[in-house]
């Protein structure tokens, strides 16, 4: 199975449900199932609109490139 990287920026109130969903849907009970890292993001800026903070995270965009999936 190919390895992929998923990056998600979300509000703090969504972290637990998102990490649980990722763990549930990606687990195959095998060595190499993967890891989830949760990092603080100090600030977010949506360049096109100038929105900052959680306002910059409200819309969902999915981008896939070279086995990497970015959800912002």
pLDDT more than 90, % of the chain = 6
What is the mean pLDDT of the segment spanning 44-65? Answer: 75
For the chain, which residues make up each domain, given as ranges? 5-71
Give the Å distances, CA to CA, from 43 to 14, 36, 70. Answer: 16, 21, 17
The model's pLDDT over 13-45, given as tens digits with 9 standing for 90+, comes to 888 988 888 888 888 888 877 889 999 988 988
Model pTM score: 0.64
Task: State residue 23's pLDDT score.
Answer: 86
Relative to beta strand 62-65, strand 5-8 is unpaired
CB atoms within 10 A of CB 9: 14
């Amino acid at each position: 199975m190919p390895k992929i990287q998923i990056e998600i920026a979300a509000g703090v109130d969504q972290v637990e449900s998102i990490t649980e969903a990722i763990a549930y849907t990606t687990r195959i009970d095998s060595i190499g199932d993967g890891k989830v890292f949760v990092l603080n993001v100090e600030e977010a800026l949506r360049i096109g609109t100038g929105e900052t903070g959680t306002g910059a995270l409200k819309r969902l965009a999915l981008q896939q490139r070279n086995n990497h999936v970015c959800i912002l």
